[in-house]
Chains A and B, each alone.
Chain A
Amino acid sequence: MRPGPFGLVPRPAAILIPSRPDSMDVLYQLPQQLVNGLTLGGVYALIAIGYTMVYGILFMLNFAHGEIYMIGGFAGWWVLHLLSSGNRLLMNAALVIALMIIGAMAVSGLVGVLSERFAYRPLRRAPRMNVLLSALGVSIFLQNLVLHFQGAKPRFFHVSALIPQDLRVIEVGGVVFSFMRGLVITVCFLLMGILTYVVKRTKMGKAMRATAQDIEAANFMGIDTDRIIVFVFLIGSALGGAAGTLVGMLFTQVDYYVGFQAGIKGFTAAVLGGIGNIFGAMLGGLILGLLEALATSFFPSAYKDVVAFTVLIVVLVFKPSGLMGERIREKV
């Protein structure tokens, strides 16, 4: 007889939650799935913000955003690789983690700005379909660039050096919080908080909102909209890059193909929340992450995406502009 996962810790919800872990009870899985879903949701939210910010201003879908996320993962891997020899870190673990995230944000931000400068800005006045195809091209280009220089094999994050052994997993009442999960959730919400502050309270944020509302009017009012667009690409891509490296640390692998799946999930989260609305993207990401995790408890795990997308369709049927989206007014 093996000891139950609860050990000696008394549980307040003992009446609701069956104590015998031998049963396939959904209630028993629920708290853990919430933790799983929250982690995933935070990451989806970070990716979705990049889609939604660009769409809010330029009305274009930046298909290359998934690859920006993937490049962030690789950048984080390289920082970790360069700052460690074998399984030993060359400096303080907290510093390495911070540098990984900052490095990934910097590299992804740069790639985002460059793609705007060379692939989207020249097409600013072209029909929208052209920009869409250009974005698709950037996506394929970036994916193959990474494939060429980094190879097809996944890169492994040797994360064991980053976290002390006794901090790695904390179990409370049968729910497992790993250190990395905590880190991912914290960083995701911290970054979203900073973004909210920037958008709502700073001059730059005001200019961004003005540009999103009416780009030409903003131009007339003396706002350098080209600069704002660059800034939006910088922030959106940097957040995507942060998500890439966080997922790399959490799931310990990155390869040239991870951007595709992540891009689809981020885009879905953005649409679910109402594309063009930053807070909608955050909400959409969290809901999508939670849905996927919870769906696994009720259905075979391979169908989790089916469940998530079914919910998306149902939401869009009743609220075509997404959960927090506004009806787009036709500009005259």
Chain B
Amino acid sequence: MKKTFVAMFTLTAAVLFFIGNAPAGNVKDGISVGNAGAFTGDAAAPCMEIFNSSQIAVDEWNAKGGIQGVKIKHVMGDDAMDPAQASNVAHKFAADKSMYGVIGPPMSHTAQATLKIYGTSDMACITTAASKPELTEQGYNHFFRVNARNDAHGPNCALFIAKELKAEKVAILNEKVAYTENLATQTIKSLKELGVTDILQDTIVGGAKDFSAVMTKVKSYNPDVLFFMATAAPDHAIAVRQMKEFGINAHYFATEGGRDKNDFIEAAEGAAEGAYIYHFSPDIYAIPEAKDYIDKYEEQYGSISGFGPPAYEAMNILLMAIDRAAKDSKITRKEVIEELHRIEDYKGILGFPVTFDEKGDLQGGATYFFKVVDGDFKQVGVMSGM
């Protein structure tokens, strides 16, 4: 018993020692970047858009000769939205000696599950969508985001609901994952500050394909706005359809996951018309700098929903940091993180300059609002703080 304990202790200490003191790698041994996300399951469409957009950035860098003449490898790690699988992906990435950074994970619960694994292996992570505030409040310095946090989205959404939609009664349904739970709390807090106190709060099961029982409850509450917080667009399609079916006379307001033309607007067969949605990235077609990226994406992969552009931006920023860290042909993961903290006013395709604060958060995050008009998302507003 005692022997086993000693052996385990030594082994753990040895593992920790090697993880903690990764020797400086040589650039010539290869450079790879990871991409962690839910590439199968209900969120496969936005996650593939993230991957493909990152791929465009990698291809562009490789066409220019890569980093120090070394071609960059882009590795996919599928977590299927499951925290346990996300941890497996993180361990695999951390063990890859040639990997110097990861794009993702794009969801708060998978990001939370892997925070420590990436953190202890000094792997720089840039998420393009995970918005739970606590992710950057836990003392790690490896985690960055190019999207705004929930404590920006929540108040901004509350502002939009109260001021633009002029709602007095609001029903808020959330899927009970880290991101939606948190967004619900933030939104309700801000709505109350804005004087909207008549709020129905309830929960749903994501991927349940049927919300009719809870819609019956919403109908009897008779709200002005139904803020439906679900991660995946197909759930929004069913929810908005059933809201109309039950004759609930409210504005449907969707979370960012619903910004998918095929899986939300077309899947709802007209029921989504007039629905509102918030998103962390602006209408990319209105930004001139993004034209080249849009052309490349549409030529190779089809239409863009909104999850892609931040990923293209994030990958470019990550590769820039790796490039700077590799100036002397020697590179460590720690150097990459330090370089990311030095990024200042990076101007890419998102329409706003990217600077990370000391926690890794995006400085001055905004929330964009869209309305479904004639079967497409039309930007109708932007909010940045109360």
Contacts and interface: CB of A to CB of B under 8 A. Distances in A.
Given A29-B217, A156-B237, A160-B270, A2 B222 contact: yes
A29 B203 contact: no
Contact of A22 (B207, B222, B241): B222
A295 to B, nearest CB: 8
B217 A178 contact: no
A158 B269 contact: yes
A255 B270 CA distance: 21
Contact of B241 (A21, A39, A176, A252): A252
B71 interface: no
Given A23-B220, A28-B220, A147-B40, A302 B205 contact: yes
Contacts of A36: 212-213, 216
Contacts of B209: 247, 251, 253, 258
Nearest to A37: B213
A6 to B, nearest CB: 11
B200 interface: yes
B222 A301 contact: no
B219 A301 contact: no
B157 interface: no
A156 B205 contact: no
A40 interface: yes
B359 to A, nearest CB: 31
B270 A297 contact: no
B245 interface: yes
Contacts of B343: none
Contact of B44 (A153, A250, A261): A153
Given A297-B216, A301-B214, A304-B213, A154 B222 contact: no
A154 B217 contact: no
B307 to A, nearest CB: 15
With most chain A CB atoms within 10 A of its CB, the pick from B45, B204, B213, B221 is B213
Given A21-B222, A251-B238, A40 B210 contact: yes
A154 B263 contact: yes
A300 B205 CA distance: 10
A24 interface: yes
A328 B217 CA distance: 42
A253 B222 contact: no
A300 to B, nearest CB: 5
A293 B213 contact: yes
Interface string A137-164: 0000000000100001110101110000
A257 interface: yes
A176 B246 contact: yes
B197 interface: no
B40 A296 contact: no
Contacts of A293: 212-213, 216
A300 B354 CA distance: 40
Interface in B245-271: 245-247, 249, 263, 266-267, 269-270
A111 B208 CA distance: 25
Interface residues of A, number: 49
B202 interface: yes
A171 B318 CA distance: 56
B369 to A, nearest CB: 24
A251 B208 CA distance: 10
Contact of B207 (A2, A257, A304): A257
Interface in B1-59: 39-42, 44-45
A33 interface: yes
Contact of A178 (B213, B234, B245): B245
A167 B131 CA distance: 43
Contact of B234 (A159, A253, A301, A305): A253
A288 to B, nearest CB: 13
Contact of A176 (B214, B217, B247): B247
Nearest to B210: A251
B207 to A, nearest CB: 7
Given A24-B200, A156-B266, A160-B269, A255 B247 contact: no
Contact of A152 (B40, B219, B249, B266): B40
Nearest to A5: B247
Interface in B54-82: none
Given A87-B269, A152-B39, A154-B234, 4 more contacts: A2-B249, A169-B247, A253-B237, A296-B214
Interface of A: 2, 5, 21-25, 28-29, 32-33, 36-37, 39-40, 87, 147, 152-154, 156, 158-160, 168-169, 171, 176, 178, 247, 250-253, 255, 257-258, 261, 292-293, 295-297, 300-305
9 contacts: A2-B222, A22-B222, A29-B219, A147-B40, A169-B247, A253-B237, A253-B267, A293-B213, A301-B173
Kindly list the 4 A-B residue pairs having the minimum CB-CB distance in the complex, ordered from nearest.
Answer: A302-B203, A296-B213, A301-B214, A152-B40
Interface of B: 39-42, 44-45, 173, 176, 200, 202-205, 207-214, 216-217, 219-222, 234, 237-238, 241, 245-247, 249, 263, 266-267, 269-270
